[in-house]
């Protein structure tokens, strides 16, 4: 079996390449199995083992003093596996932190220039009340019953003692007022929360 010391260290001779190919064929399967104990992804395991062999090839001129080259190769491989795992853990923690921060940002949103945060629900409730106060009385009542209390048009008509056609007209007028007051995105959120 070929070992690292059989390489001609720095010369790209046929013997050097042939020795390295034999080293690769001899240890690759064993090193891949070892890697799969750390990294359950076969493609990544292949990449890590190939990286070790690439590192051995590129530094072959400084490897002639290695006493136990097999232990050296497996140590390189183990370190690459552990670095890969560490990188994934760090990336995972970073992604979790980003998701948490984005969730917090979406939950606590400020519509004004101050640094104080308000929950979306509280802010929308205030904006909704302000909107209804700007509407004519019956329009505001119909709008509140429909969007805050979730009543059906027939139920609103019965409660307000008006026809369903009038309820539709009041709601249409309320939506028109809301469109003028708010951006389309906020109006959509208001209607979806209702």
The third-level CATH classification (topology) of the domain covering 4-104 is Rna Polymerase Sigma Factor; Chain: A (1.10.1740)
Burial class for 54, CB neighbours closer than 10 Å (0-12, 13-18, 19+): exposed
DSSP string, 162-188: S-HHHHHHHHHHHHHHHHHHS-HHHHH
Q: Summarize pLDDT for 54-85 with one digit per residue, the tens.
A: 988 888 777 665 567 788 889 999 999 999 98
Structural domain 119-193, CATH architecture: Orthogonal Bundle (1.10)
Domain regions of the chain by residue span: 4-104, 119-193
- Max mean pLDDT among 9-23, 51-65, 163-177 falls in 163-177
Confidence of residue 116 (pLDDT cuts 50, 70, 90): low
Confidence of residue 115 (pLDDT cuts 50, 70, 90): low
């Amino acid at each position: 079996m070929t070992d690292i010391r059989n390489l001609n260290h720095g010369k790209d001779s046929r013997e050097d390449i042939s020795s390295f190919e034999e080293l690769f064929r001899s240890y690759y399967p064993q090193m891949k199995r070892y890697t799969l104990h750390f990294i359950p992804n076969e493609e990544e395991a292949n990449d890590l083992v190939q990286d070790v062999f690439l590192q051995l090839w590129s530094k072959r001129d400084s490897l002639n003093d290695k006493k136990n080259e097999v232990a050296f190769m497996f140590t390189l491989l183990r370190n690459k596996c552990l670095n890969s795992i560490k990188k994934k853990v760090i990336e995972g923690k970073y992604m979790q932190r980003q998701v948490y921060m984005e969730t917090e940002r979406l939950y606590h949103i400020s519509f004004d220039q101050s640094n104080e945060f308000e929950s979306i629900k509280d802010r929308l409730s205030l904006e909704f009340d302000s909107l209804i106060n700007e509407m004519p009385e019956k329009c505001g009542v119909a709008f509140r019953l429909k969007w805050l209390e979730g009543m059906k048009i027939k139920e609103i008509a019965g409660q307000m003692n008006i026809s369903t056609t009038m309820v539709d007209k009041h709601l249409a007028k309320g939506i028109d007022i809301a469109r003028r007051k708010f951006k389309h995105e906020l109006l959509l959120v208001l209607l979806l929360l209702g």
